[in-house]
Structure 1
Amino acid sequence: MTPNGRTFALMRLADAPDLEALKTVWSNLSIEYQKDEVVRDMKDALKQKMEKES
């Protein structure tokens, strides 16, 4: 994992417009990035926000 890779993963997650897109982005990330605490925390926060909005 690289800092640029982490930034890219975070940007991809942030660009997801809905839960389905978020799920797709997450499933396309490598396990290395899925296990990263910063990336996982952002995914969880976005998911929680999207669930409240729907």
Structure 2
Amino acid sequence: MSLEDRVKTLQDKKVDLEKILEDEENRPLPDNISVHDLKRQKLAIKDEIERLTHP
């Protein structure tokens, strides 16, 4: 997998997590543990993209 493919895959996964996070936050009683975990995953992906694009 090329670097560009890896970054694209990570960006796609981040978009998916953002949608899941938005859905969870808009529930009448959001699960705070899930919200926290989703935010952590999203941040990890953001950091990985940053690391790959700015060595």
Task: Give the TM-score, by structure 2 length.
Answer: 0.50
Residue-pair matches, total: 36
**Contact 2:14–2:45 under 8 Å retained in 1:** yes
Structure 1 stretches (4+) deviating beyond 6 angstroms?
A: none
Map 1:4-23; keep pairs closer than 5 Å: 18-23=13-18
Among the aligned pairs, what percent are the same residue? 11
After superposition, the CA RMSD in angstroms is 1.8
Which one has more relative contact order, counting CA pairs under 8 Å at least 6 apart? 2
Query: Take 1:18 and 1:42, find their aligned partners in 2: how far apart are those partners?
Result: 14
Structure 1 unmatched ranges of 5 or more? 1-16
Aligned: 1:24 with 2:19: yes
Q: 1:37 aligns with which of 17, 32, 35?
A: 32
